[in-house]
Structure 1
């Protein structure tokens, strides 16, 4: 846990906790790369994540290391917009330890569509990392203290495109399926 001197005031702690509990996703920015939307659980005063395994969410690109820092953004459940942005201390839990077992049990309950739902925690112990993101300090943004200008990030460069000419035969194919009905 964080030191008493680093803990945010009670209202801010409650806002962080409630926003993390009510949202299925938080956006996490590590020391490397852009922020990523990650599924999580709120457990014992921190956001808990599992990732880096072949069937789990990618964490490596964020550069999250034990003892490092991250920035967590939580959204408003009713409006969907950014509600609070807070600094976090990253703690990697040791597989098999009591904190790891407790966090893994909570995560298992929220893990949707796991192909190995009965043995998922054993796979996490072998192949994945379970991290705690503990609030560490005052929020960077909160209600009443949001930036004035736009904060949207520019899209990352990609070769993907959504606009291409329609294939010449497509209208005929679509017309045939309508006539058969």
Structure 2
């Protein structure tokens, strides 16, 4: 089964409009990354001084799963399989993508020399949608349970608290009524 035109349109529009995408590499690790949509693919940059890509297992010729969230609600819109390529630094495709990425990079300490630094120290990756159908949305939540920690501050509400709050509300209401009568 191949990807339909509607699937391709959904991938492109959702990825263009979302500021972040979730990328899961072949090793199973997942991370949110900023990107740009350029020339039919999502492009990202990572390395020293940029977003971390290590631990994802993204290699030239490999695959990844990209999950796109809604810009306004933050919920999952679509998940798609991607072919990962790493173009040669300084090449035509790399230069065109870097020009797009530079415009989206906020607060770069070396904005005038960022392309040189990316060529020297970072990885610029192209995630192109693979011609397979988009993944079906899950029925349940994909939220991970928080890690256990002793820093939890949530405790049962003290028994006297509802009475105390009700008393304060009545006092505030009474004060407001007195102020209204004085005016």
> What TM-score, normalized to structure 2?
0.77
| Counterpart among 90, 95, 117 of residue 96 in structure 1 | 90
Partner of 1:105: 99
Query: Counterparts in 2 of 1:109-128, with a 5 A limit?
Result: 109-128=103-122
Cα separation, partners in 2 of 1:159 and 1:149, compared to 1, 3 Å? closer
Query: Which has the higher Rg, Structure 1 or Structure 2?
Result: 2
Partner-residue secondary structure (3-state), 2:55 = helix
Partner of 1:132: 126
* Residue 55 of structure 2 corresponds to residue 61 of structure 1: yes
Query: How far did residue 30 of structure 1 move?
Result: 0.2
Cα separation, partners in 2 of 1:89 and 1:158, compared to 1, 3 Å? farther
Cα separation, partners in 2 of 1:131 and 1:80, compared to 1, 3 Å? same
Gaps of 5+ in 1: 165-181
Partner-residue secondary structure (3-state), 2:110 = coil
Cα separation, partners in 2 of 1:108 and 1:147, compared to 1, 3 Å? same
Q: Distance in 2 between matches of 1:55 and 1:150?
A: 33
| Counterpart among 20, 28, 50 of residue 25 in structure 1 | 20
Q: Distance in 2 between matches of 1:85 and 1:70?
A: 10
Query: How far did residue 160 of structure 1 move?
Result: 8.7
Q: Distance in 1 between matches of 2:98 and 2:135?
A: 29
Partner of 1:78: 72
Partner of 2:173: none
Q: Distance in 2 between matches of 1:89 and 1:163?
A: 44
Aligned residues, how many? 153
Q: Distance in 2 between matches of 1:76 and 1:151?
A: 15
Query: How far did residue 161 of structure 1 move?
Result: 4.2
The 8 Å contact of residues 67 and 90 in structure 1, kept in 2 or not, is answered as yes
More helix by share: 2
Q: Distance in 2 between matches of 1:83 and 1:20?
A: 9
Query: How far did residue 104 of structure 1 move?
Result: 0.5
Q: Distance in 1 between matches of 2:139 and 2:41?
A: 29
> What TM-score, normalized to structure 1?
0.78
Partner-residue secondary structure (3-state), 2:32 = strand
Query: How far did residue 114 of structure 1 move?
Result: 0.3
Partner of 2:141: 150
CA RMSD of aligned residues (A): 2.0
